Amino acid sequence: MVHILNKDKNMRVLVVDDECCVLNFVKKILGTKGFEVITLQSSKGLEDYLLISDLLLIDIKLEDENGIDVVERLRTKGFNIPVIFLTDYTDANTVISASRFSATNILKKPLNDEELLRVVKEMLGYNLNPTIPYSREYKVIGSSKAMFEVFKKIGLACQNDLNVLITGETGVGKEVVSRLIHENSPRKEKPFVILHCPAIPWDLFEAELFGYVKGAFTGALVDKKGKAKLAEGGTLFLDEIGDIPYKLQAKLLAFVERKSYFSLGSSKEEKADVRLIFATNRDLKKMVEEGKFREDLYHRISQMGIYIPPLRERKEDIKQLVDYFIAFANAEIGTMVEGVEEEAMKKLMDYSFPGNVRELKNLIYKTVIETKFGKIKDFDIHPEKTTVYNTTCSFDRFIDMLLDSTPEEDLPNLLERIEVYLIKKLLEKYSGNKSKVAGLLGISRNTLENRLRGIFSN
Ligand SMILES: Nc1ncnc2c1ncn2[C@@H]1O[C@H](COP(=O)(O)OP(=O)(O)OP(=O)(O)O)[C@@H](O)[C@H]1O
């Protein structure tokens, strides 16, 4: 059943909500703008009104039914009227689930008149697409307005196959968001493959992504499938895309543009049926301006952009994340921690979490192990260390000072000590993220792990 907009009459909006105040508010705001508004307190008889309406506004949590289920049923029956969901709830499942249908939008209560009018007008011009079934399996926590917007975008991303660029600081959840897109997309039964770009030495990057055939280079003893092949039919997630050197960007551009590639040593062009998601914590636009990142590649990979704000800008999420991580840690470790005392929670709320959700998660796990049962009374967090940059202290001067203060007999260990110190410091800074640190140092994750073994054996 195709829904045809009636252009000759006032637009008719059907509103279903069990709260009279919401019905009255929508009627007043839309009524004054010339819309005809029909209100219902439940979904009973809804289908009769749908035939004469141009737009449906429906509460997600109706008294006896879920608005999302109602719309799912309607879509199955062929009613593809545009829908605006109304909700008090901002959890990922609800928002993504509601955003998964074509021709839908979602508004958070309490409703705001300007936003209501804007979205109503936008939805009345909607182009209807086929519906994609929704999976409720994956869990990403967040009840803030900022995450609400992120979830809405995830819902949209699940409906198409566009290249997505996820941006945000380290540890904000770029990888979990990319998994969530995959898990809710039609590709969910196929593989989700991750390529942490900087974790691979750059001269092996192409081999890793496109694979190679036996004899392609010294050491290529057998054919090896690349990540593009391993992700066939599914999603390929390229993490830390901003770290890729300029000359490799051209190779990547050809792949992204044509969705095809050549394995190293092969002259056969392979087609790749993959959805591409990219992530970075760098400012790619600035890198483009500075000539460090190809503009054409930037536009290609960011057909859709999702920005995840740092945790310090969405502190409303902290409480929910804490409960979630405690429950997880209890289940994994077998502890019986029951929550967090008020003072300790205040300490968390006052902290700026430079390592974002990853830092919070690590902190919770560490504290749960120490606490074992009962409520968490305190967290071992230190006030943010401010980095002091001494501009007069040049690299050369620093080396001179180091040499002056190092006895000759210690010189043979100096390089190793500097390396170990640097790795330790960076691991602290990036909350133990080895791939990230390896990338920053331009070494492979294996090399970093070997150096770490050095740390622990010292
Ligand atoms: N909203 C969230 N809900 C639940 N867990 C989360 C959320 N955001 C992040 N996490 C957890 O925090 C950790 C870091 O997340 P993730 O690896 O996705 O961050 P990232 O932004 O990709 O980091 P990086 O830039 O360093 O690669 C993971 O263990 C992930 O499970």
Q: What is the CATH number of the domain that holds 286?
A: 3.40.50.300
198 and 317 together in one domain: no
Do the domain assignments include residue 449? yes
Task: Tell me the pLDDT tens digit for each residue of 154-172.
Answer: 988 988 999 999 999 999 9
**Mean residue pLDDT across the chain:** 84
Q: Is 175 in the pocket of ligand 1 (CB under 6 A)?
A: yes
54 and 135 together in one domain: yes
173 and 302 together in one domain: yes
Which residues neighbour 442 within 8 Å (Cβ) at sequence distance 6 or greater?
Answer: 198
Do the domain assignments include residue 4? no
Q: What is the pLDDT of residue 423?
A: 85
137 and 21 together in one domain: yes
Task: Measure Cα distances from 255 to 189, 273, 435 in Å.
Answer: 23, 11, 24
Q: pLDDT > 70: what percent of the chain?
A: 88
Do the domain assignments include residue 433? yes
Q: Is 429 in the pocket of ligand 1 (CB under 6 A)?
A: no
366 and 399 together in one domain: no
Has residue 388 got a pLDDT over 50?
A: no
Query: What is the position in ligand 1's atom list of the atom closest to the CA of 172?
Result: 21
Q: Is 172 in the pocket of ligand 1 (CB under 6 A)?
A: yes
For the chain, what is the domain count?
4
Q: What is the pLDDT of residue 458?
A: 43
49 and 75 together in one domain: yes
Query: Which mutation among 181, 361, 363, 434 tests ligand 1's pocket best, with the greatest number of atoms within 8 A of CB?
Result: 361
Do the domain assignments include residue 151? no
326 and 218 together in one domain: no
Query: What is the position in ligand 1's atom list of the atom closest to the CA of 140?
Result: 3
**Closest to 240 measured CA to CA, from 298, 281, 277, 208:** 281
102 compared with 356, residue with greater pLDDT: 356
Q: What is the CATH number of the domain that holds 317?
A: 1.10.8.60
Among candidate residues 121, 146, 171, the one where a domain is terminated = 146
Among candidate residues 250, 279, 307, the one where a domain is terminated = 307
Identify the band that residue 6 occupies on the pLDDT scale cut at 50, 70 and 90.
Answer: very low
| Domain limits for position 419 | 395-457
Q: Is 433 in the pocket of ligand 1 (CB under 6 A)?
A: yes
Pairing of strands 260-262, 304-307: unpaired
Computed from CA positions of residues 292, 297, 303, 304, in that sequence, does the dihedral angle turn out positive or negative? negative
Distance CA 115, CA 236 (A): 36
Lookup: tokens for 109:
């209560």
Lookup: tokens for 367:
């504290």
224 and 353 together in one domain: no
Helix or strand run (H / E) with residue 379: none
Task: Tell me the pLDDT tens digit for each residue of 28-79.
Answer: 999 888 888 999 999 888 888 887 788 999 999 988 889 999 988 887 776 7
Do the domain assignments include residue 447? yes
Among candidate residues 289, 307, 325, the one where a domain is terminated = 307
Query: What is the position in ligand 1's atom list of the atom closest to the CA of 433?
Result: 26
Q: What is the CATH number of the domain that holds 409?
A: 1.10.10
The single-letter code of the amino acid at 76 is: T
**Closest to 194 measured CA to CA, from 238, 244, 252:** 238
Residue 38, φ and ψ in degrees, nearest 5? -105, 130
Identify the band that residue 2 occupies on the pLDDT scale cut at 50, 70 and 90.
Answer: very low
Distance CA 357, CA 363 (A): 10
Mapped onto helix, strand or coil, the DSSP state of residue 304 is strand
Query: Which mutation among 181, 357, 360 tests ligand 1's pocket best, with the greatest number of atoms within 8 A of CB?
Result: 357
Do the domain assignments include residue 446? yes
**Closest to 256 measured CA to CA, from 277, 286, 239:** 277
Residues 419-444 have a mean pLDDT of 83
Q: What is the CATH number of the domain that holds 77?
A: 3.40.50.2300
286 and 342 together in one domain: no
Do the domain assignments include residue 387? no
Query: What is the position in ligand 1's atom list of the atom closest to the CA of 179?
Result: 18
Lookup: tokens for 128:
């209807």
Do the domain assignments include residue 7? no
Which residues neighbour 28 within 8 Å (Cβ) at sequence distance 6 or greater?
Answer: none
294 and 348 together in one domain: no
Q: What is the pLDDT of residue 390?
A: 36
169 and 288 together in one domain: yes
299 and 318 together in one domain: no
Identify the band that residue 405 occupies on the pLDDT scale cut at 50, 70 and 90.
Answer: low
